Amino acid sequence: MNFLKLLLGNRKASIGLVIVLFFVVLSVAAPLFSDYSPTKRVSRPHQSPSAEHIMGTTRMGRDVFAQLAYGGRTSLAVGFGAGALVIVLAIGFGITAGYFGGVVDEVLSSMMNIMLVIPQLPLLMVLAAFIGEASPLVIAIIIGCTSWAWSARVIRAQTMAIREKEFVSAAQVLGEPAWRIILVEILPNLISIIGAAFIGAVIYSIMLEATLEFLGLGDPTAVTWGIMLYNMSNTSAILIGAWWEVIAPCIAIAMVGAGLALMNFAVDEIANPALRSHTGLKRWKLKQAQRKKILEAGKQSLAKQQQVPL
Amino acid sequence: MFNKLSILGTAVLIGLGTLASADSLAAERSELTLVAEQRTAWDRNFNPYLTANKRATTFQFIYEPLVVFNALKGNQAHYRLATAHEFSDDLKTIRFTIRDGVKWSDGEQFSAKDVLYSFEQIKKDPVLDTQALADRIESVSIEGENVVAIKLKNVDTTIANKIVRVPIVPQHIWSQIDSPTTFKNETPVGTGPFTEIDSFTAQLYVQCANPHYYDAENLDIDCLKMPQIATNDQLLAAAIKGELDWTSSFIPDIDRVLISANPSYNYWYPAAGSASFLVNFKSPNPGNREAFNDINFRRAFSMTVDRQAVVDIAGYGYWSTNQYASGLGEQFASWNNPQVDAEFGQYNRYDLEGAKQLLSDAGYKDTDGDGFLNTPSGAEISFKVIVPNGWSDFVSTAQIGVEGLQELGVDASVSTPEFVTLTENMKSADFDAAFTNYFGGATPYRYFQTGFHSSMADKDRFGAHHYADPELDSLIDSFTKTADSAEQVKIMQDIQYRIGANQTTIPTMSTVYLYQFNDKRFSGWFSEANPQAVPVVWPDQPERLLHVLALKPR
Amino acid sequence: MGFILRRLFFYLAAFMVAVVINFMLPRLMPGDPVTAMLGGRGAMMTYDQIEALRQTFGFVDGPLIQQFFSYVSSVFQGDLGTSVQSFPETVSTILGRAFGWTLFLTGAGTLLAFIVGSLLGILAAWNRGGWFDSIVSPLSLILQATPQLVFGLLFMFVFGVTLQWLPSGYAFSPELTPEFSWLFISDVAAHAILPVFTVFIVQLGGFLIPMRNNMINLLNEDYITMGKAKGLSQLRVMLNYGARNAVLPSVTSLSMALGMVIGGAMVVEVIFNYPGLGTVLYNAILARDYQLIQGQLLVMTLFMLFFNFMADILYLFLDPRLKHGGSA
């Protein structure tokens, strides 16, 4: 809860949260914002934005705004779903390896490292092609199952550090079972790292989903931001000049990414106060300025030679 | 002695020619720029037997065919390496008379022996048999001086179309090749109009006129120029700049995107093979099967397809609607049986209300209250229309079709499996409904044979409605047993009636042959005003040889 | 040296895992490549023909384990098989042709991101809390959180298609022959601007933020304080003491990024139709060109391993603690 408070107290985090919430509300309550079905022909092809269709229509005469709103449901669900899967796997692998150490750690760490050196996007493409007509759910699962290694490594390192702390040793001496120590003593201390890793995984999953679908490896009848881009490129919307079809999903993806990134930036600052606190540098700058004044007062000519403008 | 003299003569002539044109060589040479295939890099490969990676200018341009059959002119024969062909009286032998005085591009004499050799070649290795003819040919022999007789295993009067697609190669070259399936044939020797590879890089190659071309008096172009182009977008960019002369690619909204930007471009999109929805009479799902086997359901399905929307939206207005109850399509209009349309045309026009009426009269209603119709016996109808992944115009078409079905109250949706999976499922009757294209051709025979003959149901996706009608089969078979054209028309009309009366298929639209040309540097282009032959530049269109011979530099 | 040996052993193990994945994946794929390849919108082949073609392409039958060993042995002989879609070209030829372009595209984009990102990171650290930092740092993170796909499409749309300032496809104009001439080189450069910039911009944050954070941490360290105490100028302190040390982790991450981006720049290549490995893989997947897909994944993995190894070695040189038998 402390963590949440800190997050809300941070300006960047609040802006990010507002952006993300905006898209969540837009997509969850899509029927409130758009009268059109995202999968019905409601107008002629490639109509530019108008009062009736505020973001224009696609080749199939579908309303771009409706697709954006409804598509957000799936795209965000995939992002958060895959992110959650990533983080669950990462916690599982990371804490187990970090806490138990020894052979367990050797094995799990090798798995993480190997996962990290196999190029992921190509592997995902081949997997998606292999499964064929990959639905958003399938995409979420394969992203989740291939992206956990990085976070797992971070969590493992942190777990190892915490394990050495006194309160953990104390619990061990008292004969607490391992699962209890992990849940009660270790996990709470990992919250900020897990939070950052989760947000990162969500960003990454949204990007990957859009990419895979754009490349034609998704289910073309689904409504998602990636499929919007796929249909856009398939119907040569760029050449025809239907800019609204390119811009709308691009902006949505970029905005959500930006919102999450701002939140993550803030989490970083909270977790590592040195990045935030200005005291050290301010004091030095102040001293420097004082020194400058003295120097300027005294040996003005010499000081000028030494000073390089910043 | 004569040979040496002629070589000497040629050398002198070439020398003189070089002298005469040395000062204006590049400017005077007429180069026709065409895009006959889209790839990411050119590989120097002119082996006519390779299906995947030979250059698209290999057939016709390097290897002249025996005959070019003009599909647009009712299969009219344009004789090339052959001067005549005829069937024996029992229709079991086809004889080609081989042209005299033709030379290979290396100066060697061409003869009936080369033709014989070429047909023996395809029997050696199935890979070389790209037309799948080896099993249908009993024997090949030379009769007299210059007649090649091909004895068939079974009567098939349509086989000539396939036979003339077998590449005719020089025996004196290919008999030296150990492995014709991997040979790259970098410096080809042929009898066609453009045999000399003038320059070759991964981005551009130029193929120039055969110095020994027998029909040189009809050839006015010096060279073909093939820039490497990988995507439609790249092609469009080059076309707008006026860099291309002859293309057959998809350009969206062509009037707005290309013609308005470069008015010397023009296009002509004659009708090609048709495309239809089909339902699987052997569907694994009982409810769907009951509906699909009911002619009222099939008719109602057909009446919910908004064909005009399909053409305008999915086909950019290039396609034409197909309301022929047999799916015959515009390209075969001359074979049409008007009686079919008179009787069954009403079931193949967009008529949502009529479709609703038809179904409710037949006893379809929502008995289980899920918002969708059930069969008269109360079984659930719920199916997916499958269409290959990535065929985006077809996916759009299927989506429009499904929209109509949903209006009707039928629980239908679109699914896009991989092409191979789709084909497997369709062949094994493991699917409900699909949208597929069909073969075009000179006669509707290939369309009907591959699409409706019961022996084809498990061979490919075309006949995958899995509906067997022995009488229809024998009608289709009888077409190949006669060479009498009046009788052939009669057979075709009977076939149309049988298919139309049963509503075996749900005809939707006819696709088009894509063809764009630049009028600036060359004249004589085939067009709507000058409809000589199918104008496409792709390699599977032998008529392109006639086209290139018709062009004149301006 | 024990460290290097251990790493080498790990890379060998990782490589073997990649080989196994590589071997299994295409074999689990549905459909057969010959059908996929020739199954255009109107192709039909007889069973005999398909069988004959399978053999020409070298699809060995037999027990899986036997196939596996013949695969492994040919991989170690450098034989990656034959492409189906470009038969009879070998996979190695095709990959060789594409490889240079990918290296150029990703190398240029990543190096640029490293240089610009590090410099901006230093400035941001120096300006911590100021206007420059509070704009540039979040902005670079936002850029990093935006897929290449989005930038690629937007650049293509704005500069390639609408304004037509820059070519929007391929690596050079088709009428030019690759040669060492000003004309050709400038043409290649013009074609590279949009894709390189796309690779650059999404990677910028990846170098800027760590550099900034490292700098900030270092600025509080003792020897920096000492430098300050000695009365050295701000710039000297920042560059000589701060940046030189803060850049070390970035150098190793540069090496890793190079390996990563080889696979990651795929989308950019597809959007701009750049003739690199990404486009090759994309086309190979569309055409179900098994052997090409396999070869491709293997080469990309090798690259990741190579650049990771480079990172290890760099680390060894830059961090003296490791030289004296410390563990990684």
* Res B31: pLDDT: 93
Residue B427 vs residues A281, B391, B421, B431, B551: alpha-carbon distances, Å: 74, 19, 10, 9, 44
- Burial degree of B145 (CB within 10 A; 0-12, 13-18, 19+): exposed
Interface test with A, best of B416, B420, B425, B431 (most A CBs within 10 A): B416
Model confidence at B215: pLDDT above 50? yes
Tally of CA atoms within 13 A in the half-sphere of C95 that contains its CB = 24
State the sign of the Cα–Cα–Cα–Cα dihedral B342, B343, B349, B355: positive
Q: Give the confidence band of B7 by pLDDT, cuts at 50, 70, 90.
A: very low
- Residues present in chain B in total: 554
Residue for token pair 């992990």: A182
Q: Is the CB of residue C170 less than 8 Å away from at least one CB of chain B? A: yes
| Identity of the amino acid at A247 | I
Instruction: Specify the pLDDT at position C53.
Output: 64
Element (H, E) at B516: strand B516-518
Tokens of A276: 């935030």
Q: What is the ipTM of this complex?
A: 0.80
Distance separating alpha carbons of residues B138 and B93, to the nearest angstrom: 9
Q: Which of C34, C87, C94 to mutate to test the interface with B (most CBs of B within 10 A)?
A: C87
Q: What angle (nearest 5°) sits at the alpha carbon of residue B365, between those of residues B360 and B367?
A: 160
CA distance B272 to A16: 54
Domain boundaries along the sequence of chain A: 2-271, 278-310
Percent of all residues in chain C with a pLDDT value above 90, rounded to a whole number: 1
A167 — pLDDT class (breaks 50, 70, 90): confident
| Residue range B40-52, pLDDT digits in tens | 778 899 999 887 6
3-class DSSP state of B258: helix
- Chain C CB contacts of A281 below 8 Å: 128-129, 216, 219
What is the rounded average pLDDT of the residues B137-153? 92
C176 against C10, higher pLDDT: C10
Query: Alpha-carbon distance A45 to A58, whole Å?
Result: 6
Q: Best-predicted range by mean pLDDT among A129-133, B268-272, C125-129?
A: B268-272
**Burial class of residue A303 (count of CB atoms within 10 Å of its CB; 0-12, 13-18, 19+):** middle
Residue B207's beta-bridge partner residues?
A: B197, B224
pLDDT at position B492, please? 93
> Is B311 touching A (CB cutoff 8 A)?
no
pLDDT at B355: 94
Domain parsing of chain B, residue ranges: 47-175, 194-270+513-553, 271-511
Question: Strands B433-437 and B382-386, how do they pair?
Answer: parallel
* Per-residue pLDDT reduced to its tens digit, A183-211: 888 888 888 888 888 998 999 899 889 98
pLDDT digits (tens, 9 = 90+) for B420-457: 778 888 988 999 999 998 888 778 998 999 899 998 88
Q: How far is C180 from chain A (nearest CA, A)?
A: 33
Chain B contact set for C97 (CB, 8 A): 41, 202
B392 Cβ under 8 Å from any chain A Cβ: yes
Residue C242 CA: distances (Å) to CA of A268, B366, C219, C246: 21, 76, 6, 6
Cβ pair B81, B115 in contact under 8 A: yes
Q: What is the pLDDT of residues B93-106, one digit of tens each?
A: 999 999 999 999 99
- Which among C17, C138, C216 has CB closest to A262? C138
Model confidence pLDDT, tens digit, residues B336-375: 999 999 999 999 999 999 999 999 999 999 988 888 999 9
pLDDT-based confidence at A306, cuts 50/70/90?
very low
Q: Which stretches within B268-344 are classed as H helix?
A: 286-292, 295-303, 307-309, 338-344
Q: Does C287 touch chain A (CB under 8 A)?
A: no
Exposed (0-12), middle (13-18) or buried (19+): which is C2, by Cβ within 10 Å?
Answer: exposed
Closest partner residue to A250 (CB to CB) among C154, C266, C300 is C154
What pLDDT is recorded for position C326? 38
CA distances from B508 to A108, A287, B309, B327, B394 (A): 57, 82, 11, 8, 11
Residues 49-68 of A with CB under 8 A from B: 59-61
With beta carbons under 8 A apart, name residues in chain A contacting B257: 236, 239-240
Q: Which residues of C touch A118 (CB under 8 A)?
A: 14, 17-18, 21, 301, 304
Q: Which residues pair with A87 in a beta bridge?
A: none
Which residues from chain B sit within 8 angstroms of residue C174, using beta carbons? 203-204, 227-229, 238
How far apart are the C-alpha atoms of A267 and A87, rounded to whole Å?
16
Q: What is the pLDDT of residues C30-87, one digit of tens each?
A: 666 566 555 544 444 555 666 666 666 656 566 777 778 887 887 887 777 777 777 6
B17, pLDDT greater than 80: no
* Chain C residues within 8 A of A117 when measuring between CB atoms: 11, 14, 18, 259, 301, 304-305, 308
Write out the two tokens for B447: 């369309």
Helices marked H in B391-541 — which ranges?
392-408, 419-427, 445-452, 470-479, 485-502
Smallest CA–CA distance, residue B325 to chain A, in Å, is 26
Long-range contacts of C133-141, Cβ-Cβ distance < 8 Å, separation of 24 or more = C133/C212, C136/C208, C137/A265, C137/C208, C137/C209, C137/C212, C138/A12, C138/A261, C138/A262, C138/A265, C140/C204, C140/C205, C140/C208, C140/C209, C141/A261, C141/A262, C141/A264, C141/A265, C141/C205, C141/C209
Taking only residues 138 to 197 of chain A, the set having a beta carbon closer than 8 angstroms to any beta carbon of chain B reads none
Mean predicted lDDT score pLDDT of chain C: 76
Which residue in the set A132, A216, A238 is minimally distant from B417, CB to CB? A132
Taking an 8 Å cut-off on Cβ atoms, the answer to whether B395 and A239 are in contact is no
Query: Mapping DSSP to helix (H, G, I), strand (E, B) and coil, where does residue C197 land?
Result: helix
Upper half-sphere CA count for residue B20 (Cβ side, 13 Å): 8
Q: What are phi and psi of B207, to 5 degrees?
A: -125, 120
Contact C305 A119 (CB under 8 A): no
- Which string of DSSP letters, residue by residue, matches A43-110? SSTTPPP-SSSTT-B-TTS-BHHHHHHHHHHHHHHHHHHHHHHHHHHHHHHHHHHHHH-HHHHHHHHH
Instruction: Indicate yes or no: CB of B40 within 8 angstroms of CB of C280.
Output: yes
The pLDDT of residue C164 is above 80 = no
Query: In this predicted structure, what is the pLDDT of residue C57?
Result: 61
pLDDT digits (tens, 9 = 90+) for B253-277: 888 888 988 999 999 999 888 999 9
Looking at the structure, give the CATH architecture of the domain made up of residues B47-175.
Answer: Alpha-Beta Complex (3.90)
Task: Verify whether the Cβ–Cβ distance A221 to B390 is below 8 Å.
Answer: no
Domain A2-271 has CATH 1.10.3720.10: yes
Indicate the pLDDT class of residue A277, thresholds 50, 70 and 90.
very low
Of the pLDDT bands very low, low, confident and very high (cuts 50, 70, 90), residue C276 is confident
Q: Which of A55-64, A93-102, C260-269, C291-300 has the lowest mean pLDDT?
A: C260-269
Separation CA B358–CA B352 (nearest Å): 10
State which CATH number among 3.40.640.10, 3.40.190.10, 3.40.50.800, 2.90.10.10 fits the domain covering B194-270+513-553: 3.40.190.10
Q: For residues C308 and A117, is the Cβ–Cβ distance under 8 A?
A: yes
**Tokens representing A125?**
């493409």
Give the CATH number of domain B271-511: 3.10.105.10
Question: Quick check: A302 pLDDT over 60?
Answer: no
β-bridge pairing B223-227 and B194-200: unpaired
Segment C8-33 mean pLDDT = 77
Residue B190, pLDDT > 70, answer yes
Of residues B277 and C204, more confidence is placed in B277
Using a CB-CB cut-off of 8 Å, the residues of chain A touching B252 are 235-236, 239-240
This prediction's pTM: 0.81
* Residue scoring higher pLDDT (A52 or B74): A52
A118 and C301 Cβ atoms separated by less than 8 Å: yes
- Please tell me the distance in Å from C184's CA to the nearest CA on chain A: 27
Q: Is A236 on the interface with B (CB under 8 A)?
A: yes
Q: Which residue has the tokens 């009769």?
A: B143
DSSP β-bridge partners for residue C156? none
Are residues A146 and C263 in contact, defined by beta-carbon separation less than 8 angstroms?
Answer: no
Domains present along chain C, CATH in parentheses: 2-76 (no CATH), 92-322 (1.10.3720.10)
Q: In sequence order, which residues have a C-beta less than 8 Å from that of residue B294 and are 6 or more positions away? A: B362, B375, B376
Q: What is the mean pLDDT of chain B?
A: 88
